[in-house]
Amino acid sequence: MKLYQGRIPQRRQGGGSRRPESLWRRVPLAFLASAVLALGCSNGTSTDGGTGGVQTTGGSATTSAVTGGSAPGGTSQATGGSATGGATTSGSAGTTQVTSASATAGSATGGSASGGTPQTTGGASAGGFSSTGGAATGGGATGGSVTGGNATGGSATGGSATGGGTTSSTSTGGRTSGGSVTGGSATGGTSAGGRASGGSVTDGGATGGRAAGGATGGASGGTVLGGTTSAGGVSGGTTASAGTTASGILAATPPMGWNSWNKFGGGVTDTLVRGIADAMVSSGMQAVGYQYINIDDMWQSSRDASGNIVPNASKFPNGMKALADYVHSKGLKLGLYSDRGTKTCAGVPGSYSYETKDAQSYASWGVDYLKYDNCNTAAGSNMQTDYTNMANALKATGRPIVFSICAWWFYNWEPTTGQLWRTGTDITDTWDTDSHSVIALINNNGGWSGRYSGASYGSPGLAQYAGPGHWNDPDMLEVGNGGMTDTEYQSHFSLWAIMAAPLIAGNDIRSMSAATKNILTNADVIAVDQDLLGIQGKPISTSTTLEVWSKKLSGNQTYAVVLFNRTTASASITVTWASLGMTATSATVRDLWSHTDLGPTATQYAASVPSHGVVMLKVVGN
């Protein structure tokens, strides 16, 4: 697809220190710095599997390997596993035998291509593997099932099938270390179920499935608690523990977490971060998908004689490794912040020319996410080169680390360099006062210049660049910080969700009000943001004041809708099913804020929407 190459405002191009001036009202200039998003993944590493499906894993596995599994008409099986010395036996034609596969720490990629060609894997993911396999004609759509951490084209682990996805060929059992398979594969790739170590597979096969920390199967993906698979490929094995899925996609859904900057500026400490981690669990935020605890600017102090970055000892007396261990012990992930310049926006050491050293430090500490800012750039430096250097340094560590590009603008190289990128300036806790306000960021991230005055990108806007592993980022959330009404915060959260934006809270979650907690933990709205298709919603109404926004969701004729009232008085807003692209003349409607099923509704739905408010719906055609 053609990438946008629009006008870049001059103020964003040059070197030197830059921090949005409206933030000065909130914190001293010395503390102005961008938000650090958490890096996703766990301790394992992965190597590419060649013919025969060789896959090594990190974690506790030692010398796990695949030694066979590819034969004419058969399938290729890749395993990892936590078993010491676990290896597969050679596969004969039509049969692949797997031993000591673990569904929770190292796994396999899906199946074979048509005719038995093995799928190889690539990339690193938490738990020690990444998989890209599972073609539509081998590992799912024509006979793939996911079984206890392995996706096979027409066979179950430990069992056999007659050919790689042959019509009507099934396997009725087989056993992996950690679980058993009770349903094999057939044309269409359906599975009667099964159990994987860490969770159960239900409704595996061509239409996906859901596992509780275990495996998913199917040509169209599935949902996994703790991570999601993307549509269109078989996902074998386990979800990665920090944002990487069995499909090998880092940040397969928009990252969710918390960042220190909006509320605390440069005042972040070890004690604060531990308290936030505790609150993320006790508040129920973790249970609905939040996982990253992101430390923004001013955690650094200096570099040692060898050039290694040194944390501020007064703020972080135990060091970053101990803090990361604590955060991980809660089932959460830790993120840090740096800058492509010689100094960060707040004036502490940046990463320019130290990319490799810094990336190695982050990985050794167990960091899962890096937000990378754009201040104090070196004379003669090149933005794309600097961001690419850090992206490559992170990848070279072997630890999957989510890379959040904070260049304050969209550039056409960003979708292939990071997992998310800022599309505008820093947010402030205001509704509609200037370019830093919520309304301005909605217009910029979700609209286009022909629709909204002040929007920076031409039609059709940036929605086309969003998808699994790459997200437009309008900046962190301000929900609960006190500058807007609860109605406005609800709208803020709803629009971020329908735009498939990262949901990074920026308030003090240790002491938030009931209203703030209810907004941030609304599972119905979060499900829209985290939908597996990864489509970014956009406005579809002619009106730019009484708006209808729409986002296609997984499932036949299924949509999220936001009725958005930008005016100063309550008003009725109507969405028609035809405007969503539905062929159905009747649809079932659910109100996502009242959590009310409204039943079948013909042709359209209308609601009274408060000033600056929303009504958010899930619409399913009948």
Active site residues: 373, 426
Distance CA 333, CA 227 (A): 13
What's the token pair of residue 218?
Answer: 């199917």
**Where on the phi/psi map is residue 273: left (φ > 0), alpha (ψ -120 to 50), or beta?**
alpha
Specify burial of residue 208 (Cβ count, 10 A radius: 0-12, 13-18, 19+).
Answer: buried
Are 390 and 359 in contact, with CB atoms under 8 Å apart?
yes
- The dihedral through the CA atoms of 577, 582, 584, 586 has a sign that is negative
What's the token pair of residue 22?
Answer: 């409206």
Ordered DSSP codes for 493-529: HHHHHHTT--EEE-S-TTS--HHHHHHHT-HHHHHHH
- The dihedral through the CA atoms of 515, 272, 506, 536 has a sign that is negative
Distance CA 255, CA 470 (A): 10
What's the token pair of residue 171?
Answer: 């396997």
Distance CA 452, CA 437 (A): 14
How many CB atoms are closer than 10 A to CB 413? 16
SS3 321: helix
What's the token pair of residue 184?
Answer: 């094999």
| Amino acid, single-letter form, for residue 110 | G
What's the token pair of residue 101?
Answer: 């596969």
SS3 54: coil
Task: Please report the beta strands in 483-534, taking only residues with DSSP state E, as ranges in sequence order.
Answer: 503-505
**Residue 329 φ then ψ, to 5°:** -65, -20
Specify burial of residue 77 (Cβ count, 10 A radius: 0-12, 13-18, 19+).
Answer: buried
Distance CA 333, CA 320 (A): 12
Residue 126: which of 468, 400, 403 has the closest Cα? 400
Distance CA 587, CA 570 (A): 25
How many CB atoms are closer than 10 A to CB 344? 28
Are 259 and 296 in contact, with CB atoms under 8 Å apart?
yes
The structure tokens 């709803």 sit at 494
User: What residues contact 282, with CB distance under 8 A and at least 6 apart?
Assistant: none
Peptide bond connecting 460 to the previous residue in cis, omega within 30 degrees of 0:
yes
Distance CA 142, CA 111 (A): 10
